[in-house]
Structure 1
Amino acid sequence: MFPIGVVAGIISSSVGMASLATYPSLLYIGDMPAIAANVTNTSSMIFTGMGSGLSSIPELRGHVRQLLLTLVCTFIGSIGGTYLLLSEPSASFKKVVPFFILIAGIMILWPKKPLNENSENHQRKVRVWEYLIGGLAFLIAGIYMGYFGAGAGLILIAVLSHITDEPYPVYNAIRNVSSLSANVVAMTIYAIKATVYWVMVIPLGIGLFIGGYIGPKIVRVIPEKILKTVVGICALVLSVVLFYQTYF
Structure 2
Amino acid sequence: MTGLEHLAIVGTGLVAGLLTSTVGVASLVSFPVLVALGIPPVVANASNTVGLIPAGLGGSLGYRRELREQPQVTWYVVLTCAIGSIGGAVLLLALPPGVFESIVPWLILFTCLTVGAQPWISKWLRSRKPHDIEPRLTMSPITTLFAGVTGVYGGYFGAGSGVMMMAVLGLGLDLELRVVNALKTLAVLAANVVAGLIFLFVADLDFTAIGLLAAGSIVGGYAGAHVGRVLPPTLLRILVVLAGIIAAVAML
Q: TM-score, normalised by structure 2?
A: 0.88
1:157-168 pair list within 5 angstroms: 157-168=166-177
Matched with 1:70 is 77
Q: 2:45 aligns with which of 38, 43, 57?
A: 38
Q: Structure 1 residue 54: deviation in Å? A: 1.1
Distance in 2 of aligned mates of 1:51 and 1:91: 31
Deviates more, 1:208-217 or 1:91-100: 91-100
Change (3 A) 1:103 1:130: farther
What's the RMSD between the two structures over aligned residues? 2.0
Q: What's the counterpart of residue 50 of structure 1? A: 57
DSSP 3-state at the match of 1:94: coil
Query: Which residue in the other structure is 1:217 paired with?
Result: 226
In structure 2, distance between residues paired with 1:223 and 1:128: 22
Of stretches 230-239 and 35-44 in structure 1, the one that deviates more from structure 2 is 230-239
Residue 233 of structure 1: which of 222, 226, 242 is its match?
A: 242
Render the CA deviation track for 1:23-71: whole Å, top value 9, x for unaligned.
1111122x21110000000011110111011111111112112212222
Distance 2:96 2:162 in 1: 21
For structure 1, which segment, 71-80 or 92-101, has the greater mean C-alpha deviation from structure 2 after superposition? 92-101
Cα separation, 2, equivalents of 1:165 and 1:62: 13
Residue type of the alignment partner of 1:59 = E
Once the two structures are overlaid, the 10-residue window that deviates more, 48-57 or 60-69, is 60-69
Helix, strand or coil at the partner of 2:39 = coil
Letter in 2 for 1:22: S
Does residue 99 in structure 1 map to residue 111 in structure 2? no
Q: Deviations over 1:72-97 (max 9, x none)?
A: 22111110110111011336333321
The alpha carbon displacement at 1:191 in A equals 0.8
**Which residue of 1 is the match for residue 97 of structure 2?**
90
* CA distance, structure 2, for counterparts of residue 108 and residue 219 of structure 1: 15
The alignment status of 1:19 with 2:31, answered yes or no, reads no
Query: Structure 1: which 5+ residue stretches go unaligned?
Result: none
TM-score, scaled relative to structure 1 = 0.89
Q: Is the 8 A contact 1:169 1:216 kept in 2?
A: no
Give, in angstroms, the shift of residue 129 of structure 1: 11
Q: Would the aligned equivalents of 2:73 and 2:137 in 1 still touch at CA under 8 Å?
A: no
Fraction of identical pairs, as percent: 33
- The aligned counterpart of 1:2 is 10
Equivalent residues of 1:154, 1:231 under 8 A apart: yes
Mind listing any 5+ residue stretches in structure 2 that lack a counterpart? 1-8
Structure 2 distance, partners of 1:145, 1:231, is 17
2: CA distance, partners of 1:238 / 1:214 = 22
- 1:175-209 deviations in whole A, cap 9, x for unaligned? 11121111111111111111111111112101000
* Cα pair distance change 1:109/1:41, threshold 3 Å: same
Aligned length: 239
**Aligned to 1:113, what secondary structure does the other structure show?**
helix
Tell me which residue corresponds to 1:143: 152
Deviation at 1:127, TM superposition (A): 4.9
